[in-house]
A = this chain, B = another copy of it.
Amino acid sequence: MFAAEILHLGVDVGGTKVAAGLVNSSGEIVFRTRVPMNARGTASQGLAAVQLAIDQVRAARPDVTLDRVGITSPGPLDPDAGIVLNPPNVPCWSNYPLVREVQRVCGLRVVLDNDANAAGLAEFLWGAARGYRYVFYATLGTGIGTGIILDGHVFHGRTGAAAEGGHMTIDYRGPRCGCGKHGCIEVLASGPAIAKRARDKLVEAGARGARLLTLAGGAAENLTAEIVGASWREGDALAGGILGETWDLLAIWLGNVIDLLDPDVIVFGGGVAELASHGFDRIRATLPRWAINPRCGEIPLLLARYGADAGIPGAAALCFVPGASREP
């Protein structure tokens, strides 16, 4: 006889789909499913998508007894009150009591948090941040999200809106972000920001931009961070310069984070993290100019265990740590 494996249910809500799965105590996804999400529909349609995803997990694994579910959703949300506030990517829910509604239709206790906080918790439990007391997690992708894990708990601040580090300004006279602020790190160093920098450079690069342009199929508007990365891997100098500038901006931003929080570890996840990991040495070398912390160079910069696929493990992590996120 073996003791039954502990499995928890994580549900990750996005703008176009709901992903749900079972995660074991080693952080492995042992079952997963996904259903479409019409984030621009009605609130109850959104709820029905969550319910369907949960029902599919239950139908596939009736042997697993579930008493709770961890749910992640794009912010802003209030994890304490269990309310999704007004996420730009999930407009169907505005001041929506998601925790109460999921409890009502699924009969499960619900723990809610935003995706970056939950992904940071998963890294603390099972990934690159395991064993570290003060964790700063950043997900680099279409946007830049962050999570702060202190002593094994998500740090939420007053209203659950803490750890929006992606919108910290390092250049208040700089370009405007969709968030409304100028020169926050998201508008300077996210995937789309890398692509935009590449497009801007192409204009003046002339022949030096040939490789980038070819990889983009001849059209600058097709450029993405992935294409810039591919061009850099081939040794293209223009792409290298674009990425180098991006890593320097990340170093300036991390200098601020370090001077305020002095974390034990910094972990990068998300779709652009692997590319950024090639810049870790440059970031480490640049950091001392942008952090007064005399030991900033000692802080490990690590690539996350869960890259762009942190949704389900993150959501399930909320169930594995009692009180890791606030429960209503």
**A contact set with B: CB distance below 8 Å:** 76, 85-86, 133-134, 146, 148, 150, 156-165, 167-173, 179-181, 249, 252, 255-257, 259-264, 289-295, 299
Contacts and interface: CB of A to CB of B under 8 A. Distances in A.
A146 to B, nearest CB: 8
A256 B168 CA distance: 5
A292 B180 contact: yes
Contacts of A165: 259-260
Contact of A173 (B146, B173, B292): B173
Given A171-B171, A171-B173, A172-B171, A159 B293 contact: yes
Contacts of A173: 171, 173
Report whether over half of chain A's contact residues are helix, strand or loop; otherwise say mixed: loop
A317 to B, nearest CB: 21
8 nearest A-B residue pairs (beta carbon): A157-B262, A162-B262, A164-B259, A168-B256, A161-B293, A161-B262, A158-B262, A158-B264
Nearest to A252: B172
Given A158-B295, A163-B260, A256-B256, 15 more contacts: A76-B293, A134-B158, A148-B260, A150-B150, A157-B261, A158-B262, A159-B295, A161-B259, A161-B294, A162-B262, A163-B262, A168-B260, A170-B171, A180-B292, A181-B292
Contacts of A289: 180-181
30 contacts: A76-B293, A76-B294, A85-B294, A86-B294, A134-B158, A146-B260, A150-B150, A158-B262, A158-B264, A158-B299, A159-B262, A161-B292, A161-B293, A161-B294, A163-B260, A164-B292, A164-B293, A165-B260, A167-B259, A167-B292, A168-B256, A169-B170, A171-B171, A171-B172, A172-B249, A180-B289, A180-B292, A181-B290, A181-B292, A260-B260
